[in-house]
Amino acid sequence: MKAVGFIGFADAYGDGWYSVFDAAAAAHKLKFVTNEHFNRTDTSVTGQVLKAMSANPDAVLIAGAGHAVGTAR
Q: In terms of residue numbers, what domain contains 18?
A: 8-42+55-65
**H or E element at residue 53:** helix 46-54
Q: Does residue 58 surpass a pLDDT of 90?
A: yes
pLDDT at residue number 19: 96
> Which pTM does this prediction carry?
0.83
pLDDT in tens, 20-55: 999 999 999 999 999 999 999 898 999 999 999 999
pLDDT of residue 66: 72
Within-domain flag for 60: yes
Question: Percent of the chain, pLDDT > 70?
Answer: 90
Instruction: Please say whether the beta carbons of 71 and 16 come within 8 A.
Output: no
Contact 2, 58 (CB under 8 A): yes
User: Considering the domain boundaries, does residue 2 fall inside one?
Assistant: no
Number of domains in the chain: 1
pLDDT at 60 over 80: yes
Cα 56 from Cα 53, distance rounded (Å): 5
- Is there a domain that residue 50 lies in? no
Residue 7 host element (H or E)? strand 3-9
Question: Does residue 47 fall inside a structural domain?
Answer: no
| Residue 23 within any structural domain of the chain | yes
Note whether residue 48 is domain-resident. no
